[in-house]
Structure 1
Amino acid sequence: MVGFQAVMGLALGLFAAAAPAGRPERTVSEIPYVTCDGSRWRVRLESEVFIHTPEAGGPSHDNIMRYRTWGGACWQASWNPYRREFFHVPVGAGQSHRDAILNFEDWDGQRWTARREGGDWVVIQP
């Protein structure tokens, strides 16, 4: 199983930046995430359109991202480029909310927090 850092290092050439409290942040153009059914995908975001690419296969475009958040719950998010925030909706029941961050699990089940900066993702492990 290929980990987040290996996937991102090979595909994108990670570079670290200083982060609050000494935690390393990484700026990447796409993130590896797990869908609600456990499938492994990567995602880029252009304007408000998510470009999803499965582990094996070609990309598809959508205005939402369905993903597994910390602890395995299924959520979907849309991005508002004008407000620079995600609109998160739990799949099933629960309270939706807006936030500048997206908490997701990578292909190895590691927890990450992502935010948008320019056209890239800035990710950090809590």
Structure 2
Amino acid sequence: MRAHILAAAVLATLALAAPAQAQPQSGQTVGEIPYTTCDGSRWSVSWQGDNFYHRPETGAGHADDHMDYRTWGGACWSAKWVDGQFFHTPKVGDYGHPDTILNFTDWDGVPWTATRAPGGWKVTRK
């Protein structure tokens, strides 16, 4: 009985000490990426068909046709997946552009570039 209680306590301690989101390695293909939203919230995003599947740091996720995110310089942009590429639009401004890459910041403010890849995202650290 004591061994079971001790094992449960050790597992609970390890779970609390574990990071909420593992840092991807540059050049790696990952299923989801951690990103910072325009209001500074910490979310992760994966693919659900041609839609983004957003998951907050805690709580339930949702699918959407766009992703609002912070770029390397801290500006707020929105991206959609259109005809096999991203279409980026600034949240302040009236112009947009297509591209095959998504430049975003992770939960720690680290700049990354992501491309869509089989199985998720291919990420490269700036």
C-alpha distance in 1, partners of 2:54/2:22? Answer: 15
Query: Which residue does 2:119 correspond to in 1?
Result: 119
Work out whether 1:7 is the aligned partner of 2:21: yes
Q: Determine the structure 1 residue equivalent to 2:68.
A: 66
5+ residue gaps, structure 1: 17-23
Secondary structure (helix, strand or coil) at the match of 1:72 reads coil
TM-score normalised according to structure 2 size: 0.79
Q: In the alignment, is residue 96 of structure 1 matched against residue 100 of structure 2?
A: no
Q: Is the 8 A contact 2:102 2:113 kept in 1?
A: yes
Q: Which amino acid aligns with 1:107?
A: W
- Letter aligned with residue 99 of structure 1: D
Q: Which residue of 2 aligns with 1:45?
A: 47
Seq. identity, % = 50
Distance between the aligned counterparts of 2:94 and 2:111, measured in 1?
21
Segments of 4+ moved more than 6 angstroms:
none
Q: 1:109 and 2:109 equivalent?
A: yes
SS in 2 for 1:98: strand
In the TM superposition, residue 120 of structure 1 has moved relative to its aligned partner by: 1.1
